[in-house]
Chain A
């Protein structure tokens, strides 16, 4: 079975631009979570989606948004990029949102560089 896939692998953008990151969960998984990992830090929770609805949101500005599609894939959108948005963006999928403790599987991430 394929794991969690993310695209693109790397991305370079300029301040003020917009970016869309994509994630495909493991087959059968209905929940997708997004995390931001800045160099030297642990992953920070951004969003969780389940069955196309937002189920959780971390402490990120409104420039960050996401959505989940009927096939459970997800997009993370960031508007008006800042230098501080440069980070590794991780997507994790799980089968449900109830006790996903044991089932959160991460993709390899998208490395975003804002210049």
Chain B
């Protein structure tokens, strides 16, 4: 049973525009959320996190929004750059340790 879902397997965006990646979850016990970025032949790399006490967290070009009532989070990348092209995974956890991952969204930023 997939508790974390990323319904868009792929996304293409022009360089300089905004990329919005979405993630939905079903378990109301999830309180910690992460976004990871993965390049081919590498392990996932931590990008940004948010806990349920916040609804927004910003780090440079990356902003994560959390809507607990809708069990939805999103990652905004502004402005998008070609180096951002990668697979993005969202992950959720009830305790900050055991994480459940989504299936990933492949982002392509077109120069």
Contacts and interface: CB of A to CB of B under 8 A. Distances in A.
A105 B46 contact: yes
B96 interface: yes
A42 B45 CA distance: 13
A99 B93 CA distance: 11
Interface of A: 4, 33, 35, 40-45, 48, 55-56, 58, 90, 92, 97-102, 104-109
B104 A48 contact: no
Contacts, number: 58
Interface residues of B, number: 25
Interface in B92-111: 93, 96-104
B89 interface: yes
B16 interface: no
B43 interface: yes
B98 A45 contact: yes
Nearest to B5: A42
Contact of A42 (B43, B49, B51, B101): B101
Contacts of A99: 96
A4 B4 CA distance: 26
A104 B96 CA distance: 10
A12 B46 CA distance: 29
Contacts of A58: 98
Contacts of B44: 43, 90, 106
A110 to B, nearest CB: 11
A23 B59 CA distance: 31
Contact of B43 (A40, A41, A55, A90): A90
Most buried by A among B91, B93, B96, B98: B98
Contact of A43 (B41, B51, B89, B96): B89
B103 A56 contact: no
Contacts of B66: none
